[in-house]
Structure 1
Amino acid sequence: MMAFGPIPRRKRGESIVPMINVVFLLLIFFLMTAQITPPEPFPITPPEAEAEPAEAMPDTFYIAADGSFAYETARDRAVFEALRGRAPDAGPLTIRADADLPASVLATLLPELAASGITDIALIAGAP
């Protein structure tokens, strides 16, 4: 009978579990610190103001230079119906209008907003 020596043991490699933990922690960190906002529906050049420009809020009513409207997923005249479904205690509606939009268009829009139940608005303007 032939006697064999003890079976050689393989060296155990480095564990990658700590590296995986670090990668997941970094992923969670970046996801938690990132500001995830939907893209603006069309490019807006805000009017100039003396203060710092404000960031667009998720509850924003957009008005393009050509008079096009956008609110969430609604476009043009459908935005007024979408605004009727807005919570009354949601705070002021943020309006982000293009700098080339005539003020008369914005002025005629305010009664329509009031008819939709929006009486508190905040107009976003950019810095020079």
Structure 2
Amino acid sequence: MRRARAVSKREPTIALINIVFLMLVFFMVAGTLAQPIDRDLRLVRTADLEGRPPPDALVIRADGTMIYRGEPVTKAEDYMQGIGGTASPEIRLVPDRDLPASQLVRIARELRALGAGRVMIVTERGLD
């Protein structure tokens, strides 16, 4: 009579892989990916400052009216003629936050078609 072989039970590695993967996801969500700001640092308060656009910027109100250096501008062509002289000028737009994005894109495209080199949108930056 032969002796029966001892059947070895293999540990399921799939369960171990699943646990390691879940731990990885947990630490990615719970951990900090960026260094926090120093707790002793006090940031400059700008809430009380009067906001002013750069002097060479084209301001676009929520209703779509445009203002350049305090004067109303009716069309993008008038603005480009007003700045004059520079080939492929760099244009700064200061849109109202309630201006529809489609209108902002339309104005930026018009400026590019009229010869603007770069059209930049000036925004307010916040630190949360």
> Which category of TM-score, normalised to the shorter sequence, fits these structures?
0.3 to 0.5
Name which one, 1 or 2, has greater alpha-carbon Rg.
2
TM-score, normalization: structure 2?
0.48
TM-score, normalization: structure 1?
0.48
